Structure 1
Amino acid sequence: MAAATNQRPIIIKRIKRGGGGGHHGGAWKVAYADFVTAMMAFFLLMWLINTTNPEQRRGIAEFFAPASVSRVSSGAGGLLEGTSFAEEGVRHGHSAPVAPSSEPQYTSNATDQNNADTSTAPGGEQSPNQDSLTRARTLRENAEFSRAEIAIRQAMADMPDVAELSRNVIVEQTPEGLRIQIIDQEGRSMFSPGDAQPNDRARRLLVAISGVIAQLPNRITISGHTDGAAPGGRYASNFELSAARANEARRILAAQGIPAERIYQVAGRADSEPLFNDDPTQPGNRRIAITLLREAPPLPAGHRL
C-alpha cells in the first residue's frame, strides 16, 4: 500500500495546434508576383498608348498578332524581298498612298514638285518622334534605291542588245528620289531630230528599266529635256517637243505594266535644265529623266490644307 501511495500520477497533456503559421508558406508569394506582373503590364500598356501614334500602334498589334490572322504582309516579294530599315516601331513595306488623280499631270515648265509639310514641335522644329521616323524612312529608301540601281545595271547586262547602251543610262539618287536618265551621245541618239518617237535603242532601254520600276511601289515622274537648238519639225518649241517625248516614254512604261496611278507627273523641261551647262548643244542635254519619288512624310495631326 505504501508503494502505491508514493507513486506519482501520470499526466497526459494534449495540445491542439491552431491554423497559425500560414505566413511561412510560399503560395502568397506566387499570387503577389502575378499581381505585380499584371500591374507592370498594365502601366506599360498605358505608357505605350500615350507615347505612340496610331500607325505605330497598328504596327505593334500586327507584330503580336498570329501569322494566320495578320492583315498586313511583312514585305514585298521580288526585287526588295521585304527588307525594312525602320529604326523604331514596326513599318509596313509599302509606300504612301498615290494621289487620287486618275490622270497624269502634264506641264510645260520647270516647276518642281512641292514638298509636303512635316510634323513640327511647338517651337517650329521637328518633334523627336517625327525626326526618328524621317531618318528611318530615308535609310530604308536609300537602301531600296541602291538595290534598284544594281538591278537596273544587271538587267541591262543580261540583255545583249542593251548592254552596249549602258553608257547612255545615268542612275543616281537625288533629294527627290531615284533618277534614271536616258541620254543621247555623239553618234548614238535616242530620238530622231525634231521627232517625239523614241528609236529602237531608246525603246529597248525603257523596256529593260521598266522591269525594275515595276517591282517598286514609288510614284513616278517623267520629264523630257532637249538641247538649246531650235526643234524644227512639227513642234513649235522645245517645250512641246520635250513634253511629247516624255509622254511617249510614259506610253512605253504603261505598255510594260506600270499602272497609270503611279504616274505622278509628265513634264516637258525643254532646255531649262541642261546636263552640261557650259555647252547647251551637247548631245547629253537631250534626255528622258524618270524619277522614282521618295515617300512623302506624313502631315502633322490637325493639319489643314
Structure 2
Amino acid sequence: MAKTDQPIIIKKVKKAAHGHHGGAWKIAYADFVTAMMAFFLLMWLINMTTKEQKIGLAEYFAPASVSPTTSGAGGILMGTSLDKAGNKSSTPRDAAMGTSGKEEGARRSSTGRASDLELSRTAEGAQSQHSAAASIRQALQTMPEFAEISRNIIIEQTKEGLNVSLADQDGRSMFPEGSTRPHERTRRVLEALAPTLRRLPNRLSVTGHTAAARPGSVHAVNSWSLTAGRAVAVREILSGAGFPSDRFTAVAGRADTEPFFPDNPYLSPNRRVTITLINEAPPLPPGGLR
C-alpha cells in the first residue's frame, strides 16, 4: 500500500522589535536636576543672608493690604446702622468712641511708620557694614604681605559699627612689647587702609586694648598709658596717610577691661587696637515723620 505524500509545513514566527521608548525620561530627569540645583542655590543664599536682610526681603515681598481694617467702620455710616426712621443712630458715647478711635488709629499709624523707618535703617546699616567690610578686605588683599599678616586682622560687625582690629597672635605682634610705636608691617597695613577709609562715609573711633597680666606677673608699663598711646599712634598714621582728622570721634585706651576673649583674658589676641567705623543713622527729614 502506497504512502500518501503530505507536504511538510514549517512555521516561522517573526519577533517584532520593541517599540521605541522615546526621550521623555531624559526631559524629566533634566527638570529634576535643575530643580535640585535651584533648591540648593536657594538654601545657600538663605544661609549667606543676615537676619536684617531676611527681614528686608520679607517686607519687600509682603503684599500691601487693600484696607487697614476688616470691619465695616470707616465708611459713610461709620459702622452704625439706620434706625426705623431712616436716620443714622448715634449717641454722644458713640461719637466720643469714634473720635477716640480716630486718634488711636493715627497713633498706631505713626508708630507703625516709625517702626518701619527703624527697620529700614537697620537693614541699610547692615548692608552698609557689608559693603565697608568688602572694601577693606579688597584693599588689604592688594598688599603683597597680606597672606602673612591676615591672621592678625579681625573684621567683625557689631551694633555700634564695623570693627577692624589689629590683634597680636602667638609668635606675631603688631606692636613691640611695651612700645607705643608699631612694627613697620603694622604701619604699612594702616597706610593701605587709609584711602579706603577716607572714601567711606563713616566716622572713626580708635581704641587700644591689652591682655590681662597672668597671676604672679606684672606689666612693665602702665596698661592704660600703653593702650592709649597705641591708639594715638594709629590715629596719627591714618591722618598722615590722608584720613581727615575731623572724622575721628574718639581715641582711647581701655587697658585690659574689655578682652576680646572674656573667658581667657590672657590670650594674645586680647592685645589689639580696634578701629570702629561708626554706624550712624541718617538725619531725619525736616518736620519729622509724616
Match of 2:120 in 1: 136
Task: Give the drift of 1:126.
Answer: 7.9
Task: Give the drift of 1:130.
Answer: 2.7
- Any unmatched runs of 5+ in structure 2? 1-55, 61-105
What root-mean-square deviation, in Å, do the aligned CA atoms of Structure 1 and Structure 2 show? 2.9
Structure 1 position 218 matched with structure 2 position 206: no
Match of 2:176 in 1: 192
**1:170-249 equivalences in 2 (<5 Å):** 170-229=154-213, 230-233=218-221, 237-249=222-234
Match of 2:259 in 1: 274
Indicate the structure with greater helix content.
Answer: 2
Cα distance in 2 between the residues matched to 1:238 and 1:124: 52
Task: Give the drift of 1:231.
Answer: 3.3
Match of 1:158 in 2: 142
What is the aligned counterpart of 1:285 among 270, 274, 287?
A: 270
TM-score, normalised to structure 2's length? 0.57
Match of 1:265 in 2: 250
1:228 maps to amino acid: A
1:132-181 residue CA offsets vs partner (Å, 9 max, x unmatched): 22222222222222122122222222211233211111111100011111
Match of 2:42 in 1: none
1:199-256 residue CA offsets vs partner (Å, 9 max, x unmatched): 11211221222222111111111100011124314xxx21111011001000011111
Task: Give the drift of 1:301.
Answer: 8.8
Match of 2:41 in 1: none
Cα distance in 2 between the residues matched to 1:248 and 1:267: 11
Higher relative contact order (CA 8 A, sep 6+): 1
Sequence identity (%): 43
Match of 2:19 in 1: none
- Any unmatched runs of 5+ in structure 1? 1-84, 89-121
2:124 maps to amino acid: R
Cα distance in 2 between the residues matched to 1:126 and 1:203: 50
2:238 maps to amino acid: L
Cα distance in 2 between the residues matched to 1:266 and 1:249: 9
Larger radius of gyration: 2
Structure 1 stretches (4+) deviating beyond 3 angstroms?
122-126, 296-303
Cα distance in 1 between the residues matched to 2:241 and 2:110: 40
For the residue of structure 2 that corresponds to 1:167, the secondary structure is helix
Pair 1:177–1:125, CA change in 2 (3 A):
farther
TM-score, normalised to structure 1's length? 0.54
Whether contact under 8 Å (2:208, 2:273) holds in the other structure is: yes
What is the aligned counterpart of 2:130 among 129, 146, 151?
A: 146
